Amino acid sequence: MPKQLVSELEPGEEVKSVFLVMRKELRKTKTGAPYLALELADKSGKVEARIWDNALRYKDAFAERDYVAVSGRVERYREQVQVVVNSLRRCAEEEVDVSDFLRVVGTDRAELEGELRLAAEEVRNFHLKSLLLSFLNDPDFMRRFTRAPAAKNYHHPYLGGLLEHTANTVRICRMVCELYPEVDRDLLITAAALHDIGKIQELEYDRAIDFTDAGRFLGHLLLSDQMIRERIAAMPGFPEDLAMRLRHAVLSHHGELEWGSPKRPKTLEAILLHHVDNLDAKVNSFREIIERSAESDSPWTDMRNLFKRPLYNPRALSQEMELDLEEELPR
């Protein structure tokens, strides 16, 4: 059946499409009647769904993280779109096009990996270069690193997003080093390349992007630090002070305690990494928000976004101007 994307569902239309079940709960109405509350998803977003009739019959017919073929109708409930399910069935893997559920980075991943390797080759410090190459030359690590997303929701939330974000962060840090010659270039580039490696353990991304148990309990800052410490421990003679400054930059790159950093940045390299990381993450988040509002007639988004404010979308305005120009041209 043709795929109907969550983002395109409109109240009043019929639904016949495959979705991923993110959440399933058996609940009761005020009168005590059972119903199933679902959250359905695909690569474009999530939508609430309800099975009012035959809830007990469907309760064991599928599980969370199953693909299901849904037949129903879109309604609006409390200003939110909701799918009322008439029937559904669990789908086999071969019935599903995975590209409908997981987005993939638009930039060539071999090119992004090449940028990281080039940056590593420019590192002159023997210990830092050896540490970087121990990761980059590890096939198992690179297989996971080049496929992982950078986040569940906000920035680079797609396969290959972690590689793209890391390559961007390294690229910007290389430019920053030209502007501020007092920066320890080798330390900053190494920290930039390794700052988010723990996300390969923090996130799972087989059918949908979600947190692992390790991600929920520890988070990628601690996981990244653990991975770095393990590699350093296997490298005799790695200077203790250098290891400490590298680990500090990685552990503090969220910048503030309330943003998840166990420590705030206390070196120039750590401060720069924090701001560069935040810059790339925020720009990508802005792009994601604008992309989702691309079909809007207004040049402004609503306030339901990461920044909690209306954002200006010049593309929407430029498209409007192009339409006006087309109407004015002689035919």
18-37 pLDDT, tens digit per residue, is 999 999 999 999 999 999 99
Task: Measure the CA–CA gap between 279 and 247, rounded to whole angstroms.
Answer: 21
Whole-model pTM above 0.85?
no
Task: Measure the CA–CA gap between 307 and 303, rounded to whole angstroms.
Answer: 8
- Domain 109-287 architecture: Orthogonal Bundle (1.10)
For the cut 60, the answer to whether the pLDDT of residue 222 exceeds it is yes
Same fold, 6-100 and 109-287: no
CB 159 within 8 A of CB 85: no
- The pLDDT tens digits for 241-264 are 999 999 999 999 999 988 889 999
Q: How confident is the model at residue 325 (pLDDT cuts 50, 70, 90)?
A: very low
Among the listed residues 99, 104, 100, 74, the one whose alpha carbon sits nearest the alpha carbon of residue 3? 100
pLDDT over 90, % of the chain: 74
26: three-class secondary structure by DSSP: strand
The predicted structure's pLDDT at residue 20: 95
What would the mean pLDDT of 172-195 be, rounded to a whole number? 97
Which CATH superfamily, name and number, covers 6-100? Nucleic acid-binding proteins (2.40.50.140)
pLDDT over 70, % of the chain: 94
For the cut 80, the answer to whether the pLDDT of residue 3 exceeds it is yes
Please tell me the least confidently modeled range out of 75-84, 105-114, 133-142, 304-313: 304-313
- Token pair of 55 as six digits: 């809830």
For the cut 60, the answer to whether the pLDDT of residue 318 exceeds it is no
The predicted structure's pLDDT at residue 331: 54
The predicted structure's pLDDT at residue 183: 97
111-125: buried (b, 16+ CB within 10 Å) or exposed (e) per residue? ebbebbeebbeebeb
- The pLDDT tens digits for 74-122 are 999 888 899 999 999 999 988 898 889 988 998 899 999 999 999 999 9
For the cut 50, the answer to whether the pLDDT of residue 301 exceeds it is yes
Boundaries of every domain in the chain: 6-100, 109-287
CB 34 within 8 A of CB 70: no
Q: How confident is the model at residue 291 (pLDDT cuts 50, 70, 90)?
A: confident
- The pLDDT tens digits for 42-72 are 988 899 999 999 999 999 999 999 999 999 9
Task: Measure the CA–CA gap between 210 and 187, rounded to whole angstroms.
Answer: 31
Q: How confident is the model at residue 323 (pLDDT cuts 50, 70, 90)?
A: very low
Element (H, E) at 87: strand 80-90
In one-letter notation, the amino acid at residue 219 is: G
